[in-house]
Chain A
Amino acid sequence: MRTDLFVMALVAVLLSIVLGQLGFFDAARLTKGLRNLGTLTLEMSPPDASVLPVAGEALWETVQMSFAGTVLGFLVSLPLSILGTRHLFSAPVSNLSRLIAAGIRTVPVLLWAILFVILVGLGPLAGTLGVAAYTVGYLAKIYPELFEGTDPEIMEAVRSTGASRFHLVRFVVLPEGANAILTQLLFMLEYNIRASSILGFVGAGGIGFIMQVYLQTLEYRRLATVLLLILLVVLVMDGLSAWLRKRFLLVPQL
């Protein structure tokens, strides 16, 4: 009990120090920030609907990039994850697979986009490849751990029928993990739609480019329209994910 209190006090002290260093106790600055927020809100209202056709087209490109990038990334991450599953493959194979995934994961999505802009030029192709690379890094981290959690009793029972490791992947690991595979994939799609919105900042296509233009030219009413459109797409995606989960993931446990 005393140890818990000591740890909590220590965390509180450390947090205070860090927040102080970051400027959280600078009252003048925070007050100014609040005033600026009011000004910005006023300048953003009402949203300028005249940009809807342009913003809609750019947003559609963002959705396409996210969808294609997520699916491509998923297709690459699945075999990589299977190879990274320790109870299916030997330590050298699974470690190498995990090392590749870790290497891909250390690069943030924006940096991937810059890299692909250099490699394939400006536009949505670079953005799609960037999203795909980031998706591989993330899913190839999550999936092997998920696959390793497959009920060992099911593995033992099916292995005793003479099943090979590829049979086990096809008939045990993937069906047993289907719910979690789909959940993570939907999460990744939602995340990628948000993340893709800023890829245009580095010339990798999508709505980010026009957001950057509106920000630089101080056209906040137009920016507000774009932000509302992104919000709408994210809400639609949330709804779609919820529907898909409800449709496919209602699996009571044995």
Chain B
Amino acid sequence: MDSADIALRADGICFAYRDGEWVLKDISLSLPRGKATMIMGPSGSGKTTLLKVLAGILCPQRGRVEVLGHEIEKQAQRSLHSLIGYIPQQLGLVRNLTSLENVLMGALGRCGHGKVMLGIFPRHEVKQAQAALDLMGISDKSSEKVFRLSGGQRQRVAIARTLLQRPRVVLADEFVSDLDLTLASEILRFMRQAADHEQITFLVTMHEPQLVREFADQVLILDRGQIVRRLRTDGPQERSAFEVLQ
């Protein structure tokens, strides 16, 4: 694959929280631009750690990560916001703020410290935040505090925040795991649309094989800190391998 078609490339990533106890062992992967890649694997296999390393939150002891030609270790995490968006497992929403305020946080990387510190965002950012909420179908909840929202509505707020951030690559950690299949499917359908139309690249950790089969272009199976299998979900052989996994 041409390097221009690769949104994110990781080479030989090794990571340990404690000396010698490797959580990630020599992981190399590449994410095709505008495609959705899903990572599956048992609990404790290193999925969350891998996403944090790719997002620049954790610094690997070995290996390098490149996003659209930019090596992330050389960049301050604050400057990565236009490249990488990160949605953690519990979504990382501020419970005491409204949906709109949470979405507006996606614009913080473009805003200074003047009026924003008083909670006054530029008008065009507010309009875009409202448009993102509208797109997610929850514009009527914009002034509702997040702790009052249902699980599905919170997921949409988290996605709207990431949309406002306008990153090229979105890393999401089991962000639909608390939803029922119908709702999770709806959220992922939107994700696929964004991947197709906006050329946004997604990397999502996932437990549910049915959703993976429906929405992933590429699947990575992670076990004990290593990628043990790479699958594409379109070919007949791969599909059968996928049935085995399921």
Q: CB within 8 Å of B: which residues of A?
A: 151, 153-164, 166-167, 170-172, 175-176, 178-179, 251-254
Contact = CB atoms under 8 A, between A and B. Distances in A.
B210 interface: no
Contact of B108 (A156, A158, A178, A251): A158
B113 A167 contact: yes
Contact of B95 (A159, A171, A251): A251
B154 A254 contact: yes
Interface of B: 52, 55-57, 77-82, 84-97, 101, 105-111, 113, 116-117, 119, 146-147, 154, 158, 161, 165
A163 B84 CA distance: 13
Contacts of B77: 159-160
A254 B96 contact: no
A171 B79 CA distance: 19
Given A160-B81, A170-B117, A151 B90 contact: yes
Contact of A156 (B52, B110, B111, B165): B52
B57 A163 contact: no
A251 B92 contact: no
A176 B95 contact: yes
* Residue with the highest number of chain A CB atoms closer than 10 Å, among B95, B106, B154: B95
Contact of B92 (A154, A162, A178, A253): A154
A158 B116 CA distance: 15
Given A157-B87, A161-B106, A166 B117 contact: yes
B145 to A, nearest CB: 8
What 7 A-B pairs have minimum CB-CB distances, sorted nearest first?
A162-B109, A157-B92, A162-B81, A163-B108, A160-B86, A175-B96, A153-B88
B79 A162 contact: yes
A156 B96 CA distance: 17
Contacts of B109: 161-163
B78 A172 contact: no
B94 A251 contact: no
Nearest to A158: B105
Contacts of A179: 96
A184 B154 CA distance: 29
A254 B147 contact: yes
Given A167-B116, A252-B147, A158 B94 contact: yes
Contacts of B84: 160
A160 B95 contact: no
Given A162-B79, A162-B108, A175-B94, A156 B88 contact: yes
A176 B96 contact: yes
Contact of A160 (B57, B90, B93, B96): B57
Contacts of A161: 81, 85, 105-109, 161, 165
Contacts of B82: 162
Nearest to B78: A162
A157 B78 CA distance: 11
A47 B81 CA distance: 69
Given A154-B93, A175-B97, A254-B95, A164 B88 contact: no
